[in-house]
Amino acid sequence: MKHFTCKVLTAALIAFAGCTGAVRAQKPLENSLLWEISGNGLQKPSYLYGTIHLICENDFYMSDKTKKAFEKSAGLVMETNVFDPSEIAVAQKMMIADTPISKKMPPAQFAELDSLVKMGTGVSLMQINNFRLSVVASLLAMKSIPCSTAKSYEAEFNQMAISTKKTVGVLEKMSEQMEYFNKAFTDDVIIQQIREFNKQKEMMAELVKLYRAEQMEELYKLLTEGQSLNDQSLDWLLHNRNANWAERMPDMMKKESSFFAVGAAHLAGEKGVIRLLRQKGYKVTAVMN
């Protein structure tokens, strides 16, 4: 169950990646997944890295510049720690729905979704009837990865931190993250995602292409266009979390040089982490080599 929960939590970030709102005009960011944070009283620089939460093993790569930045850092900071047993236990409880899926919709709609879920995952909807619909979307997200063996950047960084005895911190608790997701996505939105599973698979292929090329603006555009969510949903998914992180990061960076690994969609945009840190007086520059 713990392994299943960890995979679902990681996939949830993909399931929700393509469901954000429209992009406002911005000065383009350089093409880099890795950014150095300095100035504003920091004794040593910290680093910000944009991850993709699941990727085929054959597509996984880690640049030399990223490895060097990680080596220079005293600690790793992730969005949340899906590898912590106590946090996994919290997630398991929050995955259980108050009302079974079958009781939340007409029989015809349940049958439609059951057919889609079976085709996408091989799992009957009744088998996961007591879980939240977001878990169903997460299972489909795992299947949007066109391979049998996938890797996680968070898992890789976490293992690197353990092997080099670096500290491991988080920007938000598991309960906090899941509350944001629950507020951001209504059942109707998730049902629409389930119906658009094939579109999600196509988007994933393009996402990986842009990610490997480190094309930040195009990556952000792909992740924030093409789906219809209201501003409130977008705020819960990205903006509120980005603002919280920008408030929490300074103390972490003052304490020690930190390597922040968060989903790439959080970096760019008017309310992205890069611009929020710049507004606080930090120098945030792309690491090109």
Q: Is residue 123 part of a domain?
A: no
Kindly state the percentage of the chain with pLDDT values over 70: 89
Q: Convert the pLDDT of each residue in 24-34 to its tens digit.
A: 445 789 999 99
Q: Which amino acid belongs to residue 248?
A: R
Q: Is residue 112 part of a domain?
A: no
pLDDT at position 17: 46
Instruction: Give the confidence band of 187 by pLDDT, cuts at 50, 70, 90.
Output: confident
Estimate the share of the chain in helix, then strand, then coil, as percent rounded to the nearest 5: 55, 10, 35
Q: Is residue 119 part of a domain?
A: no
Q: Is residue 228 part of a domain?
A: yes
**Closest by Cα among 106, 143, 94 to 123:** 143
Across 89-98, 148-157, 166-175, least confident range? 89-98
Q: Is residue 164 part of a domain?
A: yes
Whole-prediction pTM: 0.88
Residue 27 CB: number of other CB atoms within 10 A?
Answer: 6
Q: Is residue 19 part of a domain?
A: yes
pLDDT at position 263: 94
Instruction: Give the confidence band of 115 by pLDDT, cuts at 50, 70, 90.
Output: very high
What is the domain extent for residue 145?
2-96+131-286
Residue 142 CB: number of other CB atoms within 10 A?
Answer: 18
Instruction: Give the confidence band of 226 by pLDDT, cuts at 50, 70, 90.
Output: low
Q: Is residue 31 part of a domain?
A: yes
Across 77-91, 137-151, 218-232, least confident range? 218-232
Q: What is the average pLDDT score of the chain?
A: 87
Rounded CA separation 91/96 (Å)? 9
Is residue 98 exposed (0-12), middle (13-18) or buried (19+ Cβ within 10 Å)?
exposed
Say if residue 265's pLDDT is above 70. Answer: yes
**Residues for the chain: how many in total?**
289
The answer to whether 133 touches 191, Cβ cutoff 8 Å, is yes
Q: Is residue 111 part of a domain?
A: no
How far separated are the first and last CA of the chain, in Å rounded? 41
- Phi, psi at 118, each rounded to 5°: -60, -45
The answer to whether 242 touches 276, Cβ cutoff 8 Å, is yes
pLDDT at position 182: 82
Q: Convert the pLDDT of each residue in 48-67 to its tens digit.
A: 999 998 899 999 999 999 99
pLDDT at position 15: 46
Question: SS3 of 83, please?
Answer: coil
Across 141-150, 236-245, 256-265, least confident range? 141-150
Rounded CA separation 163/202 (Å)? 36
Domain count, the chain: 1
Rounded CA separation 261/76 (Å)? 7
Instruction: Give the confidence band of 12 by pLDDT, cuts at 50, 70, 90.
Output: low
Say if residue 233's pLDDT is above 50. Answer: yes
